[in-house]
Amino acid sequence: MGGVRLPRRRPRPLAARRPRRLARQRLVRNALRPRPLPPDRRRPGGSGRSRPLVTESRDRLAAHTTQRLIADIEALRQHLGVEDWVVAGISWGTTLALAYAQQHPSRVRALALMAVTTTSRDEVDWITEGVGRVFPVEWEAFERASQRLPGERVVDAYARRLAGADREARADAAQAWDRWENVHVSLDDPGLRERGHLGPELREGFAALVTHYWANDGFLPGDQAVLARLHRIAHVPTALIHGRRDISGPAVTAWRVHRELPQSTLTIVEDEGHGGPGGSAALTAALDGFC
């Protein structure tokens, strides 16, 4: 999840306030509020207006890259005639926001990020294999359903099966992946482990895209990795918000980003995991402060 918010423009001083002007003043204040601009990214779900969906054109899956998403965001900025903006993201959206800012540092006024990730290989291996130490029974079923080959990573096996031509194999892999998505965020709600993350109409496209990006290190390898390029945005005010109980993406990633960004703040929400009302409130407050 991610988005951008246009900064609030400073209103011009108003003349003496008279009752007849109150309605006009309310209109002015409303017009000066920040405008959120959530792009309809190339993914399943969203508004459904971006075409083709990955499930409708599987042969074009290879065209989905982080660089293309960054280009989409920049094209939107140019189309709107925006000089610079505040960029926000949650979970994968934080990776995309950071990568966009590193590519276009002069266009980002500030960053507001919750459930911070960089989609490094270490993070992907943790969420697909390491978390099995916390949920061993569920992970064993997840690993078995991957049908991985000798020496193959779990995420690579799922990416291979979800990109294949066998419809039944794709459906089985999508269902297993969908179930795992709920397992690793279930510390506070064990009942999630018995339910799927998405319905059948969305889970195959979601799983195909997630594994496609994760198996390719978020298309940010080596010296293009987010953690390797933080010096490019050292001047950007950044609010980082992360849940202490986030098993899916431990707080160490948010700490590593914070440590390299002198203009950043890090808020740890002690009683939440991968998002929650406390984190959302902190994100909203950060956006209001930047705008």
Q: Is 264 a catalytic residue?
A: no
Pairs from 10-15 (Cβ < 8 Å, separation ≥ 24): none
SS3 196: coil
CB 132 within 8 A of CB 118: no
40 counts as catalytic: no
CA distance 77 to 37: 10
Q: Helix, strand or coil for residue 88?
A: strand
**Residue 246 among the catalytic residues:** yes
Q: Are 83 and 106 in contact (CB under 8 A)?
A: no
CA–CA separation, 20 and 71 (whole Å): 47
Q: List, as one string, the DSSP characters of 215-273.
A: HTGGG--GGGSGGGSGGGGTTS-EEEEEETT-SSS-THHHHHHHHH-TTEEEEEETT-B
Give dist(CA 236, CA 234) in Å, integer. 6
Q: Which of 156, 178, 217, 246 is catalytic?
A: 246
Q: Cα 94 from chain centroid?
A: 5
User: Which member of 64, 184, 242, 274 is catalytic?
Assistant: 274
Judged by DSSP in three states, 89 sits in: strand
Q: Which residues are the active-site residues?
A: 91, 246, 274
